[in-house]
Amino acid sequence: MSGKSKINTIEYLRVAITAACNFFCLYCREKTEKYLLENYINISVLRNVVKVFAQYGLKTVRIAGGEPLLVPHLEKYIEAISPLVEEVALTTNGYFLEEKAEKLKKAGACFGVSAGYERPLWFALNNKKPEFKYNYNYQNWYPAVEFETKNARKNVGLFDLTAFSKYDLKGQKTHSELQKICTANIKDEIGKTTYTQMLNEDGGIEAD
């Protein structure tokens, strides 16, 4: 052993810059939960974090929340970190998109639709045209998904579930009942977790 620790490559980073949101979706939070908009990451902190991870091969940054469009001057955040990585993406409910679309467009946003809302999905760099290259085979948005899943499987994945509702279920039949309404096989072991969809009586997805 040389005494030096090996740092694995980290290619994908998801950053929740605020916990504040204008919606109270059932799958995300209870109506009683309140998050102050004043509590958000400032631009210099975000840039410094991205700069550090860029030394270890960071290629894609996804800005999320809460609702990131609530943060003042969001386009400045994008401009600050874009030179450091290959791709910047944004997760938003799209409610404020109309009033901020032009600023995001100037920052290189490639717009798309998700869950019925138009939103910036990723940002082009180096003045390249922000567009999807549609194909029946390989899609140009695949790398971002690949980076996230591989990093979580091979290295360490940090999932911020602050804004999600939490339920403490107790009882002898808790595990068996969860097995009925969840799509994944729920682990019945202390210290183990399972990511799954929860279904309603019609078999439709109610929450994750």
Distance CA 139, CA 192 (A): 34
For the question of whether the overall pTM of this predicted structure is more than 0.85, the answer is no
Together in a domain, 180 and 91:
no
Together in a domain, 79 and 16:
yes
Whether the predicted pLDDT of 100 surpasses 60? yes
pLDDT digits (tens, 9 = 90+) for 16-74: 998 888 887 766 665 555 555 667 888 999 999 999 999 999 988 999 888 898 888 88
When pLDDT is cut at 50, 70 and 90, the band that residue 1 belongs to is very low
Together in a domain, 67 and 27:
yes
Please report whether residue 2 resides in a domain. no
pLDDT digits (tens, 9 = 90+) for 128-138: 777 777 778 88
Together in a domain, 98 and 184:
no
Q: In the numeric block, which tokens belong to residue 175?
A: 């595990």
Please report whether residue 84 resides in a domain. yes
DSSP assignment, residue 41?
A: -
Together in a domain, 44 and 115:
yes
Average pLDDT over residues 119-125: 70
Please report whether residue 199 resides in a domain. yes
82-86's contacts with Cβ under 8 Å and 24+ in sequence apart are 82/107, 82/108, 82/123, 82/125, 83/125, 84/47, 84/50, 84/51, 84/54, 84/58, 85/50, 85/54, 85/58, 85/59, 85/60, 85/61, 85/125, 86/59, 86/60, 86/125
Together in a domain, 93 and 192:
no
pLDDT at 48: 94
When pLDDT is cut at 50, 70 and 90, the band that residue 91 belongs to is confident
Together in a domain, 141 and 196:
no
Q: How many domains does the chain have?
A: 2
Together in a domain, 54 and 141:
yes
- H/E element, 27: none
Domain that holds residue 54: 12-154
Please report whether residue 116 resides in a domain. yes
